Amino acid sequence: MGDYTITFARAARKEIENLNATLINKIFPKIEALVNEPRPRGCKKLHGEENLWRIRVGDYRVVYAIYDEKQLIDIIAVRHRSEAYK
């Protein structure tokens, strides 16, 4: 399996910009690790969605889509768990 490219939806980019530096430093390494392993241990496929997955980073959830044929990961949302699935 080769390296995947990571893109950010505009909404996800705004959500990340609004986080404090401590949270960003916890979340970004997890996102960057998706390049080599798009389905890491502990990730979950979201029910009712064709290719949406999520990883947990503390109280935050990173929701992303995996496009294997394009070797692409699109970060959809980075939200607190209470807001992640709305």
Instruction: Copy the structure tokens of residue 73.
Output: 């990961």
Tell me the domain boundaries of the chain: 5-80
C-alpha–C-alpha distance, residues 54 and 40, integer Å: 10
Q: Tell me, letter by letter, the H, E, C secondary structure of 4-64.
A: CEEEECHHHHHHHHCCCHHHHHHHHHHHHHCCCCCCCCCCEECCCCCCEEEEEECCEEEEE
Q: What percent of the chain has pLDDT over 70?
A: 95
In the CATH scheme, what is the code of domain 5-80?
A: 3.30.2310.20
Residues with Cβ < 8 Å from 55, sequence gap 6 or more? 30, 34, 40, 42, 43, 61, 62, 64
Q: Which tens digit of pLDDT belongs to each residue from 42-82?
A: 999 999 888 999 999 999 999 999 999 999 999 999 999 98
Residue 1: is its pLDDT beyond 70?
no
14 — pLDDT class (breaks 50, 70, 90): very high
